Amino acid sequence: MDHIDRKIISASQAGLPLTPEPYQTLAEQIDISVNELMQRLTDMQEQGIIRRIGAIPNHYKLGYQHNGMTVWDINDAHIDELGKKVGALGFVSHCYHRPRHLPDWPYNLFAMIHGKTAEAAERQIQQIADLLGEYCRAHEVLYSTRILKKTGLRIKNNVPS
Amino acid sequence: MLTILHKQLLNDYQQDFPLSPTPYLDIANSLGITEEEVLVAFSALSEQDFISRIGPIIQPNQLGISTLVAMAIPEKHISEVAEVISQFPEVNHNYEREHHFNLWFVLIAHDQQHLTHVIKQIEKQTNFKTMQLPLLKDYFINLGFQLNLEPQEENFPINA
């Protein structure tokens, strides 16, 4: 990834314009050709830098108001195998292995769930609990009560180009 | 109200948004409608915040370094602490959650030194400790979160 790739990512965080040739507009901002821009986006997808290109839904606004960060204390020997299974569940939007922080924080598996109702969210949590079974020693669910800041990826000021 | 077209766009274009000079025309052609109709529909979704943006989604930790951070803040201080933290350009996704650790946010920095510096600044300015939980492995497999937009559509008035 070079400085032009970084510029592309930075410029695209505001969203593609809703005009007939959005990539052309982006290319002009960066001062490259539209073909180079599209090639670089393709390359970054193949390299795994870009996960996907698409419309990013606002779960909360779409009626998913019960958004829980479910956290699980999983036997380390099984975390990869179980993490993959949880990550593959259709209602899980993010699933990560993170370190424990003992004694305050015993949880090493994180899965984000989204329900339109409290009951729907509870059913999803139960489904994860069933899947993890005996390998899960404890779990908690942290519901968000307030979004204090949510922006796209900000790199302009943080990453030297 | 979300129309069938809005739902189709929401569910089918969370990934594989066309990478061509005229992506909206491509979508229109595959749906058998006009480019104008696609643009109007996406504009309505965007203006009313049903989508936050259209564009590339970056894999975590591909640009610099990031970590999830949690803090346990007494209720009476949470607003002021949250405000201080949100001022940092390195902070994203700052949420209040129901737990002893009630403030959760993601820090993105260009290297470990920068990250450590921001953490120190946050602890100094707020007078509270942080707990850092960096990503060890990402198990995400689905290409898009499957939205169930059917049963409660009357709850989503949209003017298009």
> Residue A142: which of B51, B97, B135 has the nearest Cβ?
B97
Would the pLDDT of A53 be above 80? yes
- How far apart are the two ends of chain A, measured CA to CA in Å? 10
Confidence of residue B93 (pLDDT cuts 50, 70, 90): confident
In one letter, which amino acid is B67? Answer: T
Residues A74 and A127 in one domain: yes
Distance from CA of A1 to the nearest CA of B (A): 9
Would the pLDDT of B152 be above 60? no
Rounded to whole angstroms, the Cα distance separating B6 from B41 reads 6
Residues A42 and A70 in one domain: no
Question: Within a domain: residue A99?
Answer: yes
The verdict on a CB contact (< 8 Å) between B147 and A62 is yes
Residues A72 and A35 in one domain: no
- Mean per-residue pLDDT for B6-21? 93
Question: Within a domain: residue A137?
Answer: yes
Rounded to whole angstroms, the Cα distance separating A10 from B6 reads 27
Contact A31, A7 (CB under 8 A): no
Question: Within a domain: residue A126?
Answer: yes
Please give the full DSSP string across B92-137, using - where no structure is assigned: EEEEEESSSS-EEEEEEESSHHHHHHHHHHHHHHH----EEE--SE
The verdict on a CB contact (< 8 Å) between B97 and A24 is no
Question: Within a domain: residue A91?
Answer: yes
The residues, any chain, with a CB within 8 Å of residue B118's CB and separated by 6 or more, are: B88, B90, B107, B109
Residues A35 and A95 in one domain: no
> Residue B53: which of A1, A105, A152 has the nearest Cβ?
A152
Rounded to whole angstroms, the Cα distance separating A47 from B132 reads 28
Question: Within a domain: residue A159?
Answer: no
Residues A42 and A85 in one domain: no
Residues A84 and A121 in one domain: yes
- Mean per-residue pLDDT for A133-151? 86
Residue A151 has what pLDDT?
59
Global pTM reads 0.80
Confidence of residue B115 (pLDDT cuts 50, 70, 90): very high
Residues A91 and A36 in one domain: no
Task: Please give the residue range of the domain that contains residue A42.
Answer: 3-46
What is the SS3 assignment for B148?
coil
Distance from CA of B122 to the nearest CA of A (A): 16
* A144 contacts on B by Cβ (under 8 Å): 95-97
**ipTM (interface pTM):** 0.78
A 24-83 → B contacts, CB under 8 A: 24, 34, 38, 41-42, 44-45, 48-59, 61-63, 69, 80, 83
The verdict on a CB contact (< 8 Å) between A16 and B53 is yes
Of B102, B70, B107, which Cα lies nearest the Cα of B92?
B107
Residues A137 and A89 in one domain: yes
Question: Within a domain: residue A78?
Answer: yes
Distance from CA of B138 to the nearest CA of A (A): 5
A136 reaches B (C-beta below 8 A): no
In angstroms and rounded to an integer, the radius of gyration of the C-alpha atoms of chain B is 20
- Mean per-residue pLDDT for B7-19? 93
Question: Within a domain: residue A19?
Answer: yes
Instruction: Mutate one of A37, A79, A100, A149 to test the B interface: name it (highest B CB count within 10 A).
Output: A149
Rounded to 5°, angle at Cα A128 from A126 and A134: 95
For chain B, give the percent of residues with pLDDT over 70: 89
Residues A41 and A86 in one domain: no
**Cα separations in angstroms, A153 against A27, B21, B157:** 19, 24, 29
The residues, any chain, with a CB within 8 Å of residue B12's CB and separated by 6 or more, are: none
Instruction: Report which of residues A59 and A30 the model is more confident about.
Output: A30
Residue B155 has what pLDDT?
39
Residues A97 and A38 in one domain: no
- Tell me the backbone φ, ψ of residue B124, rounded to 5 degrees: -70, -45
Distance from CA of A152 to the nearest CA of B (A): 8
Q: How many domains does chain A have?
A: 2
The verdict on a CB contact (< 8 Å) between A114 and B145 is yes
Question: Within a domain: residue A104?
Answer: yes
Residues A96 and A139 in one domain: yes
- Note the pLDDT tens digit of each residue in A100-135: 999 999 999 999 999 999 999 999 999 999 999 999
The verdict on a CB contact (< 8 Å) between A57 and B22 is no
Residues A10 and A42 in one domain: yes
Contact B61, B125 (CB under 8 A): no
> Residue A16: which of B9, B54, B148 has the nearest Cβ?
B54
What is the SS3 assignment for A5?
helix
Average pLDDT value over all residues in chain A: 89
Rounded to whole angstroms, the Cα distance separating B92 from B6 reads 28
Residue B142 has what pLDDT?
53
Confidence of residue A148 (pLDDT cuts 50, 70, 90): confident
Please give the full DSSP string across A16-67, using - where no structure is assigned: --SSS-HHHHHHHHHTS-HHHHHHHHHHHHHTTSEEEEEEEE-TTTTT--EE
* B25 contacts on A by Cβ (under 8 Å): 20
The residues, any chain, with a CB within 8 Å of residue A117's CB and separated by 6 or more, are: A66
A94: domain CATH number is 3.30.70.920
